[in-house]
Amino acid sequence: MLRTHACGEVSEKEVGQTITLCGWVDTLRVSGKISFLLLRDRTGIIQIFLDKTLTEKYQHELKKESVVLVEGLVNKRPDNQVKREEKTGSIEIAGKGIELLSAAETPLPIDVVAETTTNIDKRLDYRFLDVRREKVKNIFMIRSKVYSKTVEFFDKAGFVAIQSPRLTASGVESGAEEFKIPYFGKTASLAQSPQVYKQMFVVSGLEKVYDIGPIFRAEKSHTTRHLTEFIGIDMEMGFIQDENDVMTVVEEYLKFLLAELKRVCKEELEHLGVTINVPKTIPKMTLTEARTILKDHGKILPDNEDLDAEGERIIGEHVKKRHNCDFVFMLEYPWAKRPFYHMRPEGNKKITKSFDLLFNGVEIATGAQREHRLEILEAQAKEKDIDFSKMTFYRDIFRYGCPPHGGIGMGLDRITQRLLNLDNIREAILLPRDPERLTP
Ligand code: AMO
């Protein structure tokens, strides 16, 4: 490796040692004939003292954001010089030699400063520079842990990781718009969900599967919660009694995830000013109950309608007040609004055995028990005017021994957005895709 230490990891233990650091020039403060270089890498910022010779040689070369290698001696700093923003505040490096590895052009296209006034579009155009800001970096450090802790949970809970195809012959998620692309003289669709495949591999005998990967939706939505490409966390499990079994696993997952994030992302969360509340249990509410609450807020939700964004917000606030919980499972969605593969309870054809999960008043997941009885599934498809005979490979799943099963699809980007109270989902994904944005 080029360096012996990372900037944020040098401590008083290294005093007296000569070390090598690499990083970006955060600031160069020239003070008369000497200067102080604040060198930054992923772990933090460290101060390097440059004497007259090094200052003369480098003061015009060390432009902000240039990448340098510094060799120097670790010294203890007098207390009165310690700057709070520097993680390694009690020590500084006496520079012995500098090598400019890559000069940054000036001016920088966006501000690489703690608080920027650059608008989000410009920041996204130069996302690799935007991520050099600590706040933005922390969002992605936390998102990375949301991903890895999700894998850890499902792995420990006995789920099998599958990676289903994203190039598909036809759409698999009824209701969601498909991106069509040319495919060797045919037309393919980019997967709008791994729905078919996760059910298929429960039926294959793997019993419990999860699939984390990109999902494509050709929706012309210009909202703060929709993307055309997002990361889905999908799971499916067999031999369930009903949809409550799925919700139980999801509750365990969230408790694990949030407790682990609190533990492993302590510093990042503190820096972002985010407090995580791990729920003891997640309350459940039917849409019928929600209708009454909404009515009290002057909002009418018709029988066959889904919650809209405002409805979700009102319910989220109600649950927070009543149960002191950031989450709520919403139950019994109307058949009119759910896909044909959701199971309906015995004796009530108007609702489904499905649920949504709201996090701080925004939907982050949809789940259900699936209809596994072929004749009923065929009849349900017919009711929704879907030609089931054309869905041969989906139909086959139910023909050769299919356990009762159910699952859920969650959005990694939405979880991150809600967790960190970000106004816009675009802040929670490195390179968002929406109807206007296809670059970088
Ligand atoms: P659904 O379409 O509700 O359900 O999607 C599941 C979850 O995916 C996320 N999501 C999105 N995130 C960002 N941008 C979008 N355009 C977007 N669309 C959806 C949300 C949402 O809750 N097959 C079912 C899941 C299942 O039943 O298992 C499905 O895809 O967080």
pLDDT digits (tens, 9 = 90+) for 255-286: 999 999 999 999 999 999 999 999 999 999 99
Q: What pLDDT does 80 receive? A: 57
In this prediction the pTM is 0.96
Q: Is 365 in the pocket of ligand 1 (CB under 6 A)?
A: yes
CA distances from 329 to 276, 290, 303, 337, 342 (A): 19, 11, 18, 17, 16
Of 170 and 389, more confident: 389
- For residue 104, what pLDDT band results from cuts at 50, 70 and 90? very high
Phi, psi of 244 (to 5 degrees): -60, -30
Mean pLDDT of the chain: 95
Pocket test for ligand 1, best of 201, 249, 414, 434 (most atoms within 8 A of CB): 414
> pLDDT tens across 169-199, in order?
876 566 678 999 999 999 999 999 999 999 9
CATH 2.40.50.140, the chain: domain bounds: 7-102
Q: What pLDDT does 176 receive? A: 75
| Rounded distance between C-alpha atoms, residue 70 and residue 55, angstroms | 13
The residue whose CA is least distant from atom 15 of ligand 1 is 226
CA distances from 86 to 16, 47, 61 (A): 20, 8, 23
What is the mean pLDDT of the segment spanning 152-170? 96
- 256 with 278: CB under 8 angstroms? no
Of 177 and 105, more confident: 105
| Rounded distance between C-alpha atoms, residue 165 and residue 418, angstroms | 28
Q: What pLDDT does 171 receive? A: 63
- For residue 304, what pLDDT band results from cuts at 50, 70 and 90? confident
Query: Considering the domain 7-102, what is its CATH architecture?
Result: Beta Barrel (2.40)
What is the mean pLDDT of the segment spanning 353-381? 98
CATH 3.30.930.10, the chain: domain bounds: 129-428
Q: Is 243 in the pocket of ligand 1 (CB under 6 A)?
A: no
| Index of the ligand 1 atom closest to the CA of residue 357 | 22
| Rounded distance between C-alpha atoms, residue 224 and residue 429, angstroms | 12
Pocket test for ligand 1, best of 250, 366, 370, 416 (most atoms within 8 A of CB): 366
Token pair 């996760």 in the structure block, residue: 198
- For residue 79, what pLDDT band results from cuts at 50, 70 and 90? low
- 23 with 65: CB under 8 angstroms? no
Q: Is 306 in the pocket of ligand 1 (CB under 6 A)?
A: no
Q: Is 333 in the pocket of ligand 1 (CB under 6 A)?
A: no
| Index of the ligand 1 atom closest to the CA of residue 176 | 2
What's the CATH code, domain 129-428?
Answer: 3.30.930.10
Of 174 and 64, more confident: 64
- 214 with 230: CB under 8 angstroms? yes
Pairing outcome for strands 327-331 and 284-286: parallel
- For residue 89, what pLDDT band results from cuts at 50, 70 and 90? confident
What is the mean pLDDT of the segment spanning 53-81? 91
